[in-house]
Amino acid sequence: MLGSERGVVEEWLSEFKSLPETHIRSYAGSLHLKKSLVPALYRVIQDPNSELLEPVCHQLFELYRSSEDRLRRFTLQFLPELVWVYLRITASRDRQSNGCIEALLLGIYNLEIVDKDGNSRLLSFTIPSLSKPSIYHEPSSLGSMVLTEGALCQHDQIRVLYSGLHPQRETFTAQNRFEVLCFLMLCYNAAVVYMPLSSYQSVCRMSSRLCVCGFPRQQQKLWREPCNRVLLDPEFMVQMLTAVYHAIYNGEWEMGREALEDIVYRAQLELYSQPLLLGNAMKNSLPESAPDEPRGRKVLQVEVTPTISRISISAITTASIRRHRWKREDTDGMSGGEDSFNINDPDEGFSSGASNSSQPSGTKAGGGAGPRASSLSSSSSSIKKAITARLSRDKEKVREREREADRKAELLTDHQSAESRPPQRQQSPPSSINLEAIHLSPIKKHLSFPVGPALVRTGSTSSSKSFDCMTFNLNGGEDEQEAAGARGSDRERGISAGGSHRHSTISLQEEHLVRPEEAQELLSPGAPLTKQSRSPSFNMQIISQV
């Protein structure tokens, strides 16, 4: 480290200490003007033996603790470098020199997991639903989407928590390491726009190195420092990708793309689906050439796009099929004759049909299956079927055509539903299982046996609750019902067998695990319920009984 750099850092250390409270705002505004400070700080962080490391980490934490956003962001820009140094040293098991960086990372983490009032910070967002009007669309104008399974079971927008309720951490352990680091990267990504270019470079460097060090690809890199492989967590890699993605489009085109390649490489080797999924999408949607603007920003290149569709009218699309269908319906169905045929401008008719088909949401609730539909996709898909059936009663012919047209896509779905709901095909087991589910509910009462020793008592409440949960489970969904029902009733098989019962029949045969006929015999006496007992409303009754 050069003497001048040292001087810069020392000056910075002493300056902030002597700063009166009132000057903090102006100090925050002027910090970015110290051009040589940031590179000097990087040097300090990279050198594990620097005696300045400890005061620097301390000061960075002080900045982070201040209420001034710009100061917090000043600290945050070093996060990638800190994470890299921390993980590298952890992999080399030279823990001593890591202490102050660990402390700084944990300090930031512990500050970030709570809000101003000290409550746990919950980060959530709403998944928009096209079936609800928004400032950008009206459900009816997007006809085709409304009747999909997803739209039906997600008729409402869903609020999803993506981070929250993190406990305070005093130390890093192998177990909590990536929980903490993921959260820190999440914070970094939430402010990534405010980071300077040097930080983007750092995040790309960190990602590349973490992903290749100790792997053969490291040999192709300029950076060859021997280093153990660093364990990575898929979720952490997703956070890295998010940061790198931003860097690619905001000035670090070359480094960013290299880092992206390296992350994908590592994700392949680790067989991690999540980062691979995102990495592939990012690679596939990269523009072909580097940005030409001086600052290298290439968030977007906009040209005037022609408003006329580039696709020829004669090509068959989903829309054209639907148009065709509506025409047919008009001619042979509604007896409207030529007149109505013309009134129904293809798209108009299409959207009115769509708003018709959005009504099933009402039917769904009326059937008493609303909540269940949204909680289990298998059941909701059956509900969907029911609804389509109801809808199509008068339009059967037309729907049939649609089904044929979309069959390729639906083949998959059918396959799955067939697999997860074998009972629809093999008749009797499910009904008897349902009965079992009802019979199980009284068991709950005699469960709350008084239990003996102190040790035992600690868990007794939770376990009786747990049984609540189990019985709920039994009624909750068909899948669970079968599995749990089989477990509860079939005395011949253990849990393992019960679990596998859910499996496709093929696999059952393969594994010689169960003898379905026997199980059936065991259950069938005293199982007067017919197949209809599987109807949603009946299940609702069971639920209310419980």
Partner 1 sequence: MTTRKSGSRLETEIERCRSEGQWDKIPELVRQLSAKLISNDDLGELLLGECKLQTYLKENPIKQGSSPRGPRPKLVEVRKHLTAALDRGNLKPDYLQEASLLMAKLCYVEAEFRDALGHYSRVNLDDMQLASAPVYRLSMIAEAYATKGLCLEKVPASSPSLSNKNTGSPSSNRSTTDREQEIITCYEKSGDIALLYLQEAEKALSAGIQNRSPKPGPTTQEQELGYFLETGLQRAHVIHFKNGNLTQGVGRFREILRAIETRTTQNLRMTIARQLAEILLRGMCEQSYWSPLEDPPSVSPLDDPTRQGHTYIKNYSLSRSPRVYSGENLFCPQENTEEALLLLLISESMANRDAVLSRIPEHNNDRIISLQSASVVYDLLTIALGRRGQYEMLSECLERAMKFAFEEFHLWYQLALSLMAAGKSARAVKVLKECIRLKPDDPTIPLLAVKLCIGPLHWLDEGEMFGKMVIDMGEKAAEFRAKGYLAIGLVYSLKATDASLRSTQEEYQRKALGAFQRAHGLSPTDHLAAFYLALQLAVSRQIPEALGYVRQALQLQGDDVHSLHLLALLLSAQKHYHDALNIIEMALSEYPENFNLLYTKVKLEAMCRGPEEALLTCKHMLQIWKSFYNLTNPSDSGRGSSLLDRAIADRRQLNAMTLPDFSDPETGSVHATSIAASRVEQALSEVASSLQSSAPKHGPMHPWMTLAQIWLHAAEVYIGMSKPAEAAACTQEAANLFPTSHNVLYMRGQIAELKGNIEEAKRWYEEALSINPTHVKTMQRLGLILHQLQRYSLSEKVLRDAVQVNSTAHDVWNSLGEVLQAQGNAAAATECFLTALELEASSPILPFTIIPRAL
For partner 1, the binding residues in 320-359 under the rule CB under 8 A are: 321, 338-339, 342-343, 345-348
Return the C-alpha torsion angle 174, 178, 179, 183, nearest 10: 150
* Phi, psi (rounded to 5 degrees) for 123: -105, 120
At 29, the amino acid letter reads: G
Q: Is 148 in the site for partner 1 (CB under 8 A)?
A: yes
Q: Is 13 in the site for partner 1 (CB under 8 A)?
A: no
> Rounded to whole angstroms, how far apart are CA atoms 81 and 312?
52
Nearer to partner 1, 225 or 303 (CB): 303
Alpha helix positions (H), 376-450: 377-392, 396-405, 407-420, 428-443
> Rounded to whole angstroms, how far apart are CA atoms 485 and 428?
13
Radius of gyration of the chain (CA): 31
Nearer to partner 1, 52 or 263 (CB): 263
Q: Is 162 in the site for partner 1 (CB under 8 A)?
A: yes
Work out which of 17, 25, 65, 137 binds partner 1, going by CB under 8 A: 137
Work out which of 36, 47, 150, 363 binds partner 1, going by CB under 8 A: 150
Q: Is 66 in the site for partner 1 (CB under 8 A)?
A: no
For the purposes of burial, counting CB atoms within 10 Å of the CB of 314, is it exposed (0-12), middle (13-18) or buried (19 or more)?
exposed
Q: Is 488 in the site for partner 1 (CB under 8 A)?
A: yes
Tokens 């319920």 appear where?
529
Q: Residue 368, by phi and psi: left (phi above 0), alpha (psi -120 to 50) or beta?
A: left
**Near partner 1 in 406-445, by CB under 8 A:** 406, 408-409, 412-413, 415-416, 419
**Per-residue x/- mask for partner 1, residues 77 to 116, rule CB under 8 A?**
-------------x--x-----------------------
Q: Is 33 in the site for partner 1 (CB under 8 A)?
A: no
Sign of CA dihedral 531, 535, 539, 542: negative
Nearer to partner 1, 15 or 510 (CB): 510
Q: Is 224 in the site for partner 1 (CB under 8 A)?
A: no
Tell me the two tokens of residue 299. Answer: 């968030």
Work out which of 37, 68, 249, 398 binds partner 1, going by CB under 8 A: 249
> Rounded to whole angstroms, how far apart are CA atoms 111 and 86?
19
Nearer to partner 1, 13 or 277 (CB): 277
Q: Is 375 in the site for partner 1 (CB under 8 A)?
A: yes
Residues 73 and 194: beta-carbon distance below 8 Å: yes
Return the C-alpha torsion angle 90, 268, 282, 133, nearest 10: -100
Tell me the two tokens of residue 330. Answer: 């008009």
Work out which of 245, 326, 357, 383 binds partner 1, going by CB under 8 A: 245
- Run of H or E including 163: strand 158-163
Q: Is 30 in the site for partner 1 (CB under 8 A)?
A: no
* Phi, psi (rounded to 5 degrees) for 359: -65, -30
Size of the site for partner 1 (CB under 8 A): 167
**Near partner 1 in 297-316, by CB under 8 A:** 297, 299-312, 314-316
Nearer to partner 1, 67 or 413 (CB): 413
**Near partner 1 in 190-209, by CB under 8 A:** 190-194
Tokens 């300029």 appear where?
222
Query: Least Å distance between CB 114 and partner 1?
Result: 16
> Rounded to whole angstroms, how far apart are CA atoms 502 and 396?
33
> Rounded to whole angstroms, how far apart are CA atoms 442 and 448?
12
Query: Least Å distance between CB 157 and partner 1?
Result: 6
Work out which of 67, 168, 173, 530 binds partner 1, going by CB under 8 A: 173
Nearer to partner 1, 46 or 268 (CB): 268
Strands, E, within 53-151: which ranges? 123-127
Nearer to partner 1, 118 or 453 (CB): 453
Q: Is 144 in the site for partner 1 (CB under 8 A)?
A: yes
Query: Least Å distance between CB 119 and partner 1?
Result: 13
Q: Is 29 in the site for partner 1 (CB under 8 A)?
A: no
**Near partner 1 in 496-515, by CB under 8 A:** 496, 499-500, 502-504, 507, 510
Q: Residue 126, by phi and psi: left (phi above 0), alpha (psi -120 to 50) or beta?
A: beta
Work out which of 13, 291, 355, 472 binds partner 1, going by CB under 8 A: 472
Work out which of 89, 197, 277, 529 binds partner 1, going by CB under 8 A: 277
**Site stretch for partner 1 (CB under 8 A), options 18-26, 54-62, 171-179, 200-208:** 171-179
**Site stretch for partner 1 (CB under 8 A), options 13-21, 189-197, 199-207, 396-404:** 189-197
Eight-state DSSP code of residue 93: T
